[in-house]
Structure 1
Amino acid sequence: MMPVFKSSRRDFTFGPWKLTAARTHIIKSSEAERLAEELHMPCVPEMMFGDNVLRIQHESLFGIEFNATDALRCVNNSQGMVKVACADEWQESRSEPEHTKEVLKPYDWTYTTDYKGTLLGDTLKLKVSPTTEHIDTEKLKAREQIMFFEEVLLFEDELHDHGVSSLSVKIASKSYMLREYTSRESKISSLKHVPPPLFTDPNEIAQYLPVKESISEKLEFPEEVCLQSTTASEGT
C-alpha cells in the first residue's frame, strides 16, 4: 500500500525568531482554476501546494516567507513563450488553417520565476540593499547539530518531460540575512558531455550551466529592533 500523506506544521523558536514550515495537500481543481484566473494564466502547475509555506518571522512581525502563489505571480503570464526542439516539426505537421496555430493565451509554461520571497510586516520591514557579501557555504558544511530542518515543496509540474525547476533558501546567524538569487541556463546541445541522469538533479546539473543572472542582497533588520537588541545587551 502507498503511504498516506499527512499534513504537517513545524514551528521552531530561537530568541525573538520563529521558523514555520507547513506542508499540506495539493489544492483542489476548483481552487486551481480560481487561482489561474486570478493570475491571468491558462493553468497553474499540476501539483500546486497553495497552502505550503516556509516562514521566518521576528516577534515584531517583520520577516520573510516563501509561498507558491507569490512565486507564480513572478512568472511571465503574457509573453516569452518557451519552444522545445520538436515544436517546429509539430507545427509543420498540423493541417489546420494558419490562424488556429496562434497561441491565444501565451505564458511561460515552464513556470520559471525569479521569486526571492515575500517580505512580511507593516510598520517594520526588512531593508533590502545590494551587497557583495555572499552566504558562507563553508559554514553550511560544518558538522554541527541540526536544530531545525525542513524542505517545503511549493509547486511541481512535469512540463511534458521537458524541464525541472527548484527553489531553496538558507539563513545564517547574524543581525541581517543574506539572500542570493542565481539563474542558470543552457541548451541541451551544449550538454552532450553531461550524463542524462544529472538533468533532473538541480544540485548536480548546476555546475554545468552558465550563470545568466546573479543577485546578492542584504536584508537588514529594522533600526528599531537593532537598537532594542543593543540596549538589552548593555543592560545584562
Structure 2
Amino acid sequence: MHPVFQSSRRDFTFGPWKLSAAQTHIMKSAQAERLAEELHMPSLPEMMFGDNILRIQHDRGFGIEFNATDALKCVNNCQGMIKVACAEEWQESRSETEHTKEVVKPYDWTYTTDYKGTLLGDTATLKVVPTTEHINTEKLKAREQIMFFEEVLLFEDELHDHGVSSLSVKIADKAYMLREYTSRESKISSLKHVPPSLFTEPNEISQYLPIKETICEKLEFPEKLEPKAEASLETMCVKSK
C-alpha cells in the first residue's frame, strides 16, 4: 500500500524572486498510463508525483523549476542501461499492467536521468554558459537562520532495492545562478565494505561512489535588469545510485 500524502503549497518571496513548492498526491493510474504512452515508456515509477513542483522565478518571468515529467523525458526510453539478477523478473511483473500488454520494450528501468531543471521565460530567459566555479558547500554548513526550506519528491521507485535518486536546491549570495550536476556510480561488488543500510541513503552512500560526470554551469540573468533584480541564487542537483 502506498503512503498517503497531504497536499501542500509554500511560497516565499525575497526581492524580485519567488520560490514555490507544491506537493500533492501520487498521480492516478489513468493519468500515469497516458503519460507513459506520451513518453513512449512501458512503465512509470511506482510513485509518480506529476503535480509536485519546486520553482524559483523572477518577477520578469525567467527562472528555473523542477518537475517529474520533464525529468522523465531525460530517461533513456529505448535501451536498458543496467542489468541485475532480478531485472527480467521485475520487467515481467511490469508487463502485466494495463498500458504494457504488449512485449515490454527495453528501457532504462532505473529511471536514471540527467535532468538539471527546466528553464522558464519567454521574452527574458537565463543564459546557460559553462563555468569552472563550484557551489560553495561550506556555506551550507553555516549555523544561520533558514528562511525557506522544502524538499519536493518528484517520483520514487524501489527498483527491488537497487536504486536511489535525489535532487536538492539551495540558496546563496551570487548575482547569478550556479547549477552543478554530479553523477556517481559504482558496482555492488566494489561496495562490499559499505554497510547495506546505506545503499538507499543518498547523502551517506555518495561518499563511497566515484564521480562519473560533473557539469558546472552559470545561469546568467538577462541583461538590463532593474537594480532590484540583483538578487542571488545557487542551485545544486545531486544524483546518486
Same fold (TM over 0.5): yes
Could you say what the CA RMSD is over the residues aligned between the two structures, in angstroms?
2.2
Unaligned residue ranges in structure 1 (runs of 5+): 91-102
User: For the Cα contact (< 8 Å) 1:61–1:124, is it kept in 2?
Assistant: yes
Tell me what 2:100 maps to: none
Distance 2:89 2:131 in 1: 46
Where structure 2 has 5 or more consecutive residues not aligned to the other structure, the ranges are 91-102, 231-241
Cα pair 1:183 1:214 within 8 Å, conserved: yes
User: What is the percentage of aligned positions where both structures have the same residue?
Assistant: 83
More helix by share: 1
* Structure 1: distance between partners of 2:23 and 2:52: 5
1:49 and 1:230, CA in 2 relative to 1: closer, same or farther beyond 3 A? closer
Q: Does 1:63 align with 2:63?
A: yes
Q: How many residue pairs align between the two structures?
A: 217
**Residue aligning to 2:227:** 229
2:15 and 2:229 in contact (8 A); partners too: no
- Which whole-Å deviations, capped at 9, do the CAs of 1:53-85 have from their partners, x for residues lacking one? 000000000000000000000000001432103
TM-score (norm: length of structure 2): 0.85
Which residue is equivalent to 2:209? 209
Distance 1:231 1:191, change over 3 A: closer
Q: Which amino acid aligns with 1:208?
A: Y
Bigger RCO (CA 8 Å, 6+ sep): 2
Q: Which amino acid aligns with 2:184?
A: R
Give every structure 1 segment of 4 or more consecutive aligned residues whose post-TM-superposition deviation is greater than 3 Å.
85-90
When normalised by structure 1's length, the TM-score is: 0.87
Matched ranges for 1:150-229 at <5 A: 150-225=150-225, 228-229=226-227
Larger Rg: 1 or 2? 1
2:128 counterpart SS class: strand
Aligned 8 A contact 1:171 1:177 in 2: no
1:130–1:112 Cα change, 3 Å: same
